[in-house]
Chains A and B, each alone.
Chain A
């Protein structure tokens, strides 16, 4: 055969193969590009949802109350679907079309989480009335009931449920070793670190935490109103709500509607000193002593069981139904100190307590979420795709377990011969739900230039990250004056009586460039948590370090103690109100 013919035959064979191959690779490239663009769209929509939640909670005085929170979350869900519809609109999907592809939206909150998904509405006879929005048995998209991060434990006579949260706050309910019914809640801290509790009457005047003296503070002040209308108000935060007064001599504290209008009066009597910070530490010590007394501190990880109380989690993990990567260790004491826990404290991120807490939170989310997503298949909405929960990676769990977050799932969208199955996790650091160790900024300044005694209205001072090098520097030393929660530096919008809106800042200080804006002037080591950082700073810098630690721990204690709780922490302000009421004088 001639070489020309050979060449022709070769071309006839190879050309179609190469053309098909090229087309195939190109379609694969397009599919992946589409997938990447969907991932980004989903990320953006989830961030929009989170931003909506953030703006609503920061601007609302009651966002931590359950009914108000539900409203904020529903608004955030709407923001998600509106955003996703507008992002996908160019590809021809409407909001209703896309809703079918979202089997679940998860809002992880401080001590539990909400799942937004399709469900069957059930109405009891009592609730049913003509004109009810949804009928009995109707399939609707809505928030399912709140699921707490909880676990049941059985050991000897002990049969309790422990509710965990994203920080070290827990609630213990059930039967103790000696048969008493208990309902305790408080912060888990190493009791040996808390010393010299000084209590007079109902108030904890001072306490030492790791040797640092934490005392009551003068009542804080903040600005309300924009521009020339701005005024300084005294405020106190109890159980998540801020109560204000303008006149220092007044005894009446009220919530704030706007500049022209006060809201309801505080049910609590307020003293001239805010004892929240020492109370946080002192109450934690009492709480730990109670746990000790009732035998709760002896609980092992092996005592954790499912809700029915019949199956231990350590046994379940060897069975066939177990689809989690988690492993429980039957001998690990939940409240014991372990070898990894370098400074021997329960606050350490590697402590047994924190490891176990994260396992339980993860187990709870995994279990309920996979059920919720699988359940979505039972609804007949013309979808042929089989929905199931994707396996989240370790670093993604890390994000979920340490922050308030929104997890969105989108499954079953056809993309170029494949089916899209994606999810997005967006976390939030600015909200009223959770005070993390990193939520505290420190206002600081120069002793001689800035009026640090009245730092609330000192606008020449700056606010700094706790780890700012300026707090420990010799040449450029900045005195830490007051720790403030990060959301207090966010802009607030208020609507005046006439309907006009104005935006203002509660704190007049600007952000420090080195430590807040660019975050480059930080003494930051990835392997250290904030407690270890402060311990090191105290060792290395002595008095400067102790100063910083005192301001920081005071702010952390104050902000955590004054947060709203599903099961409220006892408050000295409330106790004093009760005492005053029983003495017949009436609360302020």
Chain B
């Protein structure tokens, strides 16, 4: 009787060790690799936008398809902070590049997408603006599901793959 019980426990443990453990390790690795490619894609995308000052649908779709190739779904948030050069001019003895003097207007994801959606249109940024993008996965990856099964630490807003990058725009984007 006791022997049978131990055998059953042993079989269960063996199953966990032989199937679930490798599965968890591999799916963890997959997430790491996804994280890697999402991170480099995000950096490339933001750096491309900020060194050319231009964002169009082509660049955005390229970016989306690169990160989707990891097999997950993502929530992409973009923000463009548009610098208003004017306040510095109204005060005398002012240096417009002095910290704290410039005002920024923000454009967020939906406004940015609206601006680039029509055919052949471009969102032009200028030198001094700031562009940033944040990416998070929205689906439950295999590794998350397995972890949830064991640890039960979960919530609606949990994510394992996330990347963000931001930077100053270095060139005027209307240049043709």
Contact = CB atoms under 8 A, between A and B. Distances in A.
Interface of A: 3-4, 6-7, 10-11, 14, 18, 21-22, 25-26, 28-29, 32-33, 36, 39-40, 43-44, 47, 50, 226-228, 349, 395, 399, 402-403, 424-430, 436-438, 465, 467, 491, 493, 502-503, 505, 508, 510-511, 513, 516-520, 522, 524-530
B52 interface: yes
Nearest to B24: A18
B126 A519 contact: yes
B176 A437 contact: yes
A429 B96 CA distance: 18
Contact of B47 (A29, A43, A427): A43
Given A7-B13, A426-B170, A399 B51 contact: yes
A283 B114 CA distance: 45
B93 A22 contact: no
B39 A438 contact: no
A226 B51 contact: no
Contacts of B86: 510-511, 517
8 contacts: A28-B36, A424-B51, A491-B95, A491-B96, A511-B86, A516-B85, A516-B126, A518-B105
Nearest to B56: A526
A340 B168 CA distance: 36
B18 interface: yes
Contact of A503 (B14, B29, B95, B170): B95
B10 A425 contact: no
A413 B123 CA distance: 36
Given A7-B14, A510-B86, A526-B120, A22 B28 contact: yes
B176 A519 contact: no
B122 A43 contact: no
Contacts of B14: 3-4, 6-7, 10
B121 interface: yes
B124 A519 contact: yes
A527 B120 contact: yes
A11 B88 CA distance: 68
A25 B33 contact: yes
Contacts, number: 141
A466 to B, nearest CB: 9
A517 B125 contact: no
A452 B172 CA distance: 28
A73 to B, nearest CB: 18
Nearest to B42: A36
B173 A519 contact: yes
A25 B32 contact: yes
A529 B175 CA distance: 9
A438 B53 CA distance: 13
A98 to B, nearest CB: 21
Interface in B120-138: 120-127
B176 A438 contact: yes
Interface residues of B, number: 57
Nearest to A503: B95
Interface string B1-37: 0000001001101100110011001001100110110
A446 to B, nearest CB: 19
A219 B165 CA distance: 48
B89 interface: yes
A517 B84 contact: yes
A511 B172 CA distance: 15
B140 to A, nearest CB: 21
B174 interface: yes
B162 interface: no
Nearest to A533: B176
Going nearest first, the 7 A-B pairs with the smallest beta carbon separation are A227-B92, A7-B14, A429-B172, A519-B124, A18-B25, A438-B175, A526-B120
Given A43-B51, A50-B170, A21 B32 contact: no
Given A7-B13, A14-B22, A40-B47, A426 B88 contact: no
Contacts of A47: 168, 170
B94 interface: yes
A410 to B, nearest CB: 15
Interface in B46-68: 47, 51-52, 56
A39 B44 CA distance: 10
B67 to A, nearest CB: 15
A22 B25 contact: yes
Contact of A227 (B51, B93, B122, B167): B93
A399 B124 contact: no
Given A522-B124, A530-B176, 4 more contacts: A10-B18, A14-B22, A18-B22, A39-B43
Contact of A36 (B43, B93, B175): B43
Nearest to B169: A47
B36 A21 contact: no
Contacts of A32: 36, 39-40
B142 to A, nearest CB: 16
Contact of A10 (B17, B168, B173): B17
B146 interface: no
A26 B95 contact: no
Nearest to B171: A427
Contacts of A395: 52
Contacts of A427: 51, 170-171
Contacts of A403: 171, 175
Contact of A502 (B36, B93, B96): B93
B115 interface: yes
B82 interface: yes
Nearest to B87: A510
B119 to A, nearest CB: 9
A36 B10 contact: no
A436 B172 CA distance: 12
A404 B86 CA distance: 26
Contacts of B165: 40
Contacts of A465: 174
B47 to A, nearest CB: 6
A455 B125 CA distance: 28
B92 A529 contact: no
Contacts of A33: 39
Contacts of A22: 25, 28-29
